[in-house]
Amino acid sequence: MDIHAEKILILDFGSQYTQLIARRVRELGVYCEIHRPDLPEEQIRRFAPRGIILSGGPASVETEGSPRCDPYVFQAGVPVLGICYGLQLLAKLLGGKVDRSAHREYGPAEVEVLAARGPFTEFTQGDRVKVLMSHGDRVEALPPGFEAIGRSGNSPFAAAAHTSKPVYGLQFHPEVVHTPRGKEMLRAFLFGDCKVSGSWTMKGFIQEAEEAIRQKVGEHGRVICGLSGGVDSSVAALLLHRALGPRLQCIFVDNGLLRQGERAQVEALFVDRFHVPLKTVDARARFLEKLAGVTDPEKKRKIIGREFIAVFEEAAREVHDAGFLAQGTLYPDVIESVSYKGPSVTIKSHHNVGGLPEQMKLKLVEPLRELFKDEVRVLGRELGLPEEMVGRQPFPGPGLAIRVLGEVTEARLELVRRADAIVQEEIRQAGLYSQVWQAFAVLLPVQSVGVMGDERTYESTCVLRAVTSVDGMTAEWARLPFEVLERISTRITNEVRGVNRVVYDISSKPPATIEWE
Ligand SMILES: Nc1ncnc2c1ncn2[C@@H]1O[C@H](COP(=O)(O)OP(=O)(O)OP(=O)(O)O)[C@@H](O)[C@H]1O
Ligand SMILES: O=c1[nH]c(=O)c2[nH+]cn([C@@H]3O[C@H](COP(=O)(O)O)[C@@H](O)[C@H]3O)c2[nH]1
Ligand SMILES: NC(=O)CC[C@H](N)C(=O)O
Ligand SMILES: [Mg+2]
């Protein structure tokens, strides 16, 4: 069966929550994609959606130039659900009235169900439902043929439905957890109106993806894949290996910026256990040489990015006839390029091995480009990737170089590597590993005075950084138990010669970032 047969189209008007809509839909077992708000009729036809969801957005439908959808959305004959801006747009385009009112609502609200149909099918008339509101504009009059099916103190049309067609609008956000029964509303829309079966699963995905990889690569094509031991590239490698066997060549770059035992772990798992063809390139010396004397964070990142590319190019040349490069690109990366987003500034140059394809004239294979991180984890489990790999905390491409502030030398890398190993061990020991987003050590270019065994010391300072986060975009410093902090501090000062002081970073993001560089 073609599991892509039942697709939901999400048009993104720029809401912070658009990705959440997609995740909720996927969680319900339905495949969906996010596209730009003004996707033209022809492309909508080609997509052949079973239903269309219009997201929220920061603009006001009353403002000149605010985003619109193709009118075909309402003529396609498929169910439509407008959320917030989506509802306002629907009202405006179909002949209702929207006002930039004094009725702003931001935060929790209660909606009374007036009619238990459409998204409220699983509710009862008179139910009072907790929802999250976040709007400044308000629908003042519904278009002809529509009626209110829910109201709140502030919005007489908090939920609206056409009287005979499956077209709905919600002023609140069903996709966020602050609308606890929001999933039931989306479920009713998807299964009741769009009549999907909910058969999008990772088992089905594996078969389809294997087939797609083989088609793309052809009968004899060969693929190289940068394997970092992180979740994304590990899962991509296993999937490619299933599809291609020995026609896949993985390349693991030991850049000298890895954590303790990382190289051995990756080799043991992929070579010994999964029998994946893997070539480890020992590039430690050349990375360190290029980094010598460099202290500026952005310079470090750029140097490392360039060196990765150089190493890769050389390795690729050695792989006879490799015509394809595999990357662990995920759906959030893809969305970045299709969404309706304003300009943003560069805080740090995040790098992976992007930029490679053009320069190497390799064609790209990106088997995970439709998946979210949590789906990649499910897929990893399905492919037999052990739990300790599936649940791994993210580790940045530039590695320990951006956790050694100041100059990166072999000696200083070794200090942070040993401190980091202690952090990893103690965080796991305390059962906290999966509760924190990341926990790691940072070495400062700061020395301070201490006393050890009655002797004066003048040694380095180590920072313990631990944060909780949902997606890495914002983060809070983790409230680690004092006993854990104490054990980590004692062990680092005792076991890592050269460190006499450990401090705990209590900054959130923003205003700080997770990494120190
Ligand atoms: N040491 C390395 N050797 C080879 N390729 C690497 C290395 N480090 C990074 N890469 C490549 O860069 C890509 C991006 O790295 P990134 O850290 O974003 O993803 P990941 O390591 O696969 O997963 P995670 O985000 O869970 O760490 C990887 O998918 C991999 O292809
Ligand atoms: O693959 C990566 N390449 C990079 O260059 C990079 N820089 C930061 N990170 C990770 O991204 C998340 C957010 O980090 P910051 O708050 O420090 O920007 C955190 O999870 C960081 O570990 C990187 N990941
Ligand atoms: N969250 C939204 O979609 C908000 C829609 C619109 N910008 C408003 O303020 O009413
Ligand atoms: Mg990584």
Residue-wise pLDDT for 491-514, tens only, equals: 999 999 999 999 999 999 889 999
For residue 218 and ligand 1, the question of a CB distance below 6 A is answered with no
Q: Evaluate: CB of 228 within 6 angstroms of ligand 1.
A: yes
**119/156 same-domain check:** yes
Mean pLDDT, residues 340-362 taken together: 55
Domain end (from 169, 193, 217): 193
Q: Note whether 362 and 251 are same-domain residues.
A: yes
Same domain, 108 and 213: no
Residues lining ligand 2, Cβ inside 6 A: 348, 350-352, 394, 396-398, 438, 472, 509, 513-515
> Complex ipTM, two decimals?
0.87
**Structure-block tokens of residue 310:** 């150089």
**According to the annotation, is 182 in a ligand binding site?**
no
User: Ligand 1: does its nearest atom lie under 6 Å from the Cβ of 353?
Assistant: yes
Gap between the Cα atoms of 320 and 302, Å rounded: 29
Instruction: Provide the pLDDT for residue 1.
Output: 40
User: Is 77 one of the annotated binding-site residues?
Assistant: no
Q: Which amino acid appears at position 28 of this protein?
A: L
The ligand placed nearest to the CA atom of residue 134 is: 3
H or E element in which residue 298 lies: helix 297-318
Rounded distance, CA 187 to CA 221, Å? 42
User: Are 349 and 308 in contact, with CB atoms under 8 Å apart?
Assistant: no
Ligand-binding site membership of 453 (annotated): no
- Rg of the chain's alpha carbons, rounded to an integer? 26
Whether residue 386 is predicted with pLDDT greater than 70 in this model: the reply is yes
Ligand nearest to the CA of 84: 3
Counting ligand 1 atoms within 8 A of each CB, the residue from 228, 336, 364 with the most, and so the one to mutate, is 228
Assigned domain for 395 exists? no
Cross-strand bridge partners of residue 224: 249, 325
Other Cβ atoms less than 10 A from the Cβ of 421: the count is 18
As a whole number of angstroms, the distance between CA 76 and CA 166 comes to 12
CA of 37 to the centre of ligand 3 (A): 15
* Whether 17 and 144 share a structural domain: yes
What are the residues whose beta carbons fall under 8 Å from the beta carbon of 114, sequence distance 6 or more? Answer: 125, 148, 149, 150, 151, 159
* Residue 381 confidence (pLDDT): 95
Rounded Cα distance between 265 and 494, Å, is: 26
Residues 378 and 423 in one domain: no
Which amino acid, one-letter code, is at 479? R
Atom of ligand 3 nearest to the CA of 84: 3
Q: In terms of pLDDT, which residue wins out, 345 or 399?
A: 399
85 CB within 6 A, ligand 1: no
Q: Which atom of ligand 1 is nearest to the CA of 350?
A: 18
**Is the same domain home to 18 and 144?**
yes
The whole model's pTM is what? 0.78
Neighbouring C-beta atoms of residue 314, cutoff 10 Å: 12
- Which of these three, 149, 167, 193, is where a domain ends? 193
Q: Give the mean pLDDT of 110-122.
A: 97
Q: 409-433, pLDDT tens digit by residue? A: 999 999 999 999 999 999 999 999 9
Here the tokens at position 489 are: 């501090």
Same domain, 311 and 208: yes
Residues 297-344: tens digit of each pLDDT: 999 999 998 898 888 888 878 877 788 989 888 877 776 655 554 444
**Is the CB of 397 within 6 Å of ligand 1?**
yes
Q: How much distance in Å is there from the Cα of 453 to the middle of ligand 3?
A: 63
- Within a domain: 403: no
Task: Tell me, yes or no, whether 437 and 473 share the same domain.
Answer: yes
Q: 10 Å Cβ neighbour count for 262?
A: 17
Please report whether residue 113 resides in a domain. Answer: yes
State residue 331's pLDDT score: 79
Distance CA 148, CA 158 (A): 7
Atom 3 in ligand 3: which residue has the minimum CA distance? 56
Q: What is the CATH number of the domain that holds 296?
A: 3.40.50.620
Domain membership of residue 85 as a residue range:
7-193
- The helix/strand/coil state of 87 is helix
Is residue 324 classed exposed, middle or buried when 0-12, 13-18 and 19+ CB atoms within 10 A define those classes?
Answer: buried
Q: Alpha helices, DSSP H only, in 48-119?
A: 85-93
pLDDT at 352: 53
Domain stops at, among 164, 193, 222: 193
User: How far are the Cα atoms of 30, 265, 419 from residue 24, in angstroms, in the given order?
Assistant: 9, 35, 39
Please identify which residue in the block is written with the tokens 């029998």. 275
What are the backbone dihedrals phi and psi of residue 421, each rounded to the nearest 5 degrees, phi first? -60, -40
In the chain, the number of structural domains is 3
Pocket test for ligand 1, best of 233, 434, 515 (most atoms within 8 A of CB): 233
As a three-state string, the secondary structure of 397-450 is CCHHHHCECCCCCHHHHHHHHHHHHHHHHHHHHCCCCCCCCEEEEEEEEEEEEE
Is 233 known as a binding-site position? Answer: yes
Same domain, 27 and 152: yes
Rounded Cα distance between 377 and 232, Å, is 8
| Ligand 1 center–CA 353 separation, angstroms | 8
For 442-465, letters b (16+ CB in 10 Å) and e give bbbeeeeeeeeeeeebebbbbbbb
Q: CB–CB of 295/240 below 8 Å? A: no
Angle CA(396)–CA(320)–CA(316) in degrees, nearest 5?
A: 25
Residues known to be catalytic: 84, 173, 175
CATH number (domain holding residue 415): 3.30.300.10
Mean pLDDT in the chain?
91
Q: How confident is the model at residue 5 (pLDDT cuts 50, 70, 90)?
A: confident
Q: Which CATH number does the domain housing residue 177 bear?
A: 3.40.50.880
In a domain, 233, yes or no: yes
Q: What is the pLDDT of residue 52?
A: 98
> 7-11 and 128-135: which strand pairing?
unpaired
Co-location of 153 and 77 in the same domain? yes
CA 36–ligand 1 middle distance (angstroms): 28
Q: Are residues 362 and 334 in the same domain?
A: yes
Task: Indicate if 102 and 181 belong to the same structural domain.
Answer: yes
